[in-house]
């Protein structure tokens, strides 16, 4: 794949994540309002959570943020690799992205290896 094709693929991934996120946000907004109404009417959170549909709001929100974070990271790696191939230095990539030169180097090495960020996701709460 050419460098531009990697960037385009990452943009496609981000677009998909954003479209799914729009649907998820609409659903979450309704659930937030329902939870607020229940709490304002005097119901306890423990009572509401016991009968709430799964996944809980916080679980859905965590999933949404993870999906957007993954898509964002993939795009950042692809863009860094393409910019480097087009002649940007690591220092210029760092300045463009607003990160340290060391971080730019890491983005380039991860992009080169095709690996993802090593972050681990914790359980939902």
Mark residue 5 as left, alpha or beta (left: phi above 0; alpha: psi -120 to 50; beta: remaining).
alpha
CA 54 to chain centre: 21
60: in domain: yes
109: in domain: yes
Please give the share of the chain, as a percent, with pLDDT higher than 90.
82
> pLDDT tens digits, the chain, 125 residues: what are they?
457 999 999 999 999 999 999 999 999 999 999 999 999 999 999 999 999 989 999 999 999 999 999 999 999 999 999 999 999 999 999 999 999 999 999 999 865 554 444 443 444 44
Q: Which residue has the tokens 């981000």?
A: 14
55: in domain: yes
Measured CA to CA, the distance from residue 106 to residue 113 in angstroms comes to: 11
Q: Considering its fold, how many domains does the chain have in total? A: 1
67: in domain: yes
24: in domain: yes
Structural domain containing residue 85: 3-113
**Residue 19, SS3 per DSSP:** helix
How close are the terminal C-alpha atoms of the chain, in Å?
Answer: 40
What pLDDT is stored for residue 120 in this prediction?
39
123: in domain: no
Over the stretch 33-65, which tens digit does the pLDDT of each residue have?
999 999 999 999 999 999 998 999 999 999 999
CA 45 to chain centre: 28
124: in domain: no
Q: Which residues contact 110 (CB under 8 A, 6 or more apart)?
A: 77, 116, 117
80: in domain: yes
């Amino acid at each position: 794949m050419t460098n531009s094709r990697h960037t385009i693929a990452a943009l496609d991934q981000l677009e998909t994540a954003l479209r799914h996120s729009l649907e998820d946000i609409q659903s979450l907004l309704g659930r937030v309002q329902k939870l607020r109404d229940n709490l304002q009417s005097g119901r306890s959170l423990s009572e509401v959570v016991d009968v709430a549909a799964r996944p809980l709001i916080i679980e859905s929100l965590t999933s949404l943020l993870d999906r957007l974070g993954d898509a964002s990271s993939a795009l950042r790696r692809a863009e860094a690799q393409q910019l480097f191939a087009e002649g940007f230095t690591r220092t210029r990539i760092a300045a463009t992205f607003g990160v340290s030169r060391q971080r730019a180097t890491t983005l380039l090495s991860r992009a080169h290896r095709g690996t993802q960020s090593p972050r681990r996701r914790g359980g939902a709460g």
